[in-house]
Amino acid sequence: AQTVAQDGKDLLESHIEKIKTPECYIAILGIQGAGKSSLLNALIFEDEVLPVAVEETTCIPTLIRRVYEKETVGAEVHFRDGRVEQMPLERQFLEKVVDNRYNPGNIMDALFVVCRTDARLVQQGFVFVDLPGVGSLTEKNEQTTMRFLQKTSIGIFLLRTVPPITESEAGFIKIAWPRLQQSIFVQNLWAQETG
């Protein structure tokens, strides 16, 4: 009973902390390869800005938020040692840090990338977050996603059509769902799939 009460208290404190923030974090969640980055490219950008590939791609959180006063459209990489590096908001630059093929298991030790855009969907303070997928090839990538849930208010669970929900997806949903203020489930049907 003590553990259940503490878990409930921790969840409540997490929700209260999220309400205090001026930005609302909306995380795109799902198994690796479900199309999370592709969904964000379609919703926010008019081009393929976030790296996408058939194999596992995203290895660090990528936050997409509005451009504030005295800022310009662009991206910045925040590293664990405190460094912040500016870069253009273009796929060829982002993939060097975000894409698991170029930064396997986040060997660059980046904490997250912030993409600043003037896209309509982020103008009201929404921050969309592209996260490493559940069932990641590297445990470090999956742990990054679990840690980021503490900052997330809304989760959009992206589910593939084929196969239906896997055991790892079901386990992740069971853990993540109570930590979110709002959850949305989206089913992604790729052109080559049937179902």
Torsion of CA 115, 121, 123, 128, to 10 degrees: -40
What is residue 58's predicted lDDT score, i.e. its pLDDT? 79
pLDDT of residue 85: 96
Q: In the block, which residue shows the tokens 């990528």?
A: 62
pLDDT at 146: 73
- Residue 6: what pLDDT? 62
Closest to 160 (Cα-Cα) out of 24, 38, 17: 38
Q: Which residues of the chain have pLDDT under 70?
A: 1-22, 54-56, 135-143, 163-164, 189-195
Quick one: which of 161, 158, 178, 148 has its CA closest to 52? 158
Per-residue pLDDT at 194: 53
**Eight-state DSSP code of residue 7:** H
Query: How many Å is the Cα radius of gyration of the chain?
Result: 17
pLDDT at 108: 93
**Tokens for 157?**
């669970």
Per DSSP bridges, beta strands 182-188 and 110-117 are: unpaired
Distances (CA, A) of 49 to 62, 117, 144: 12, 11, 22
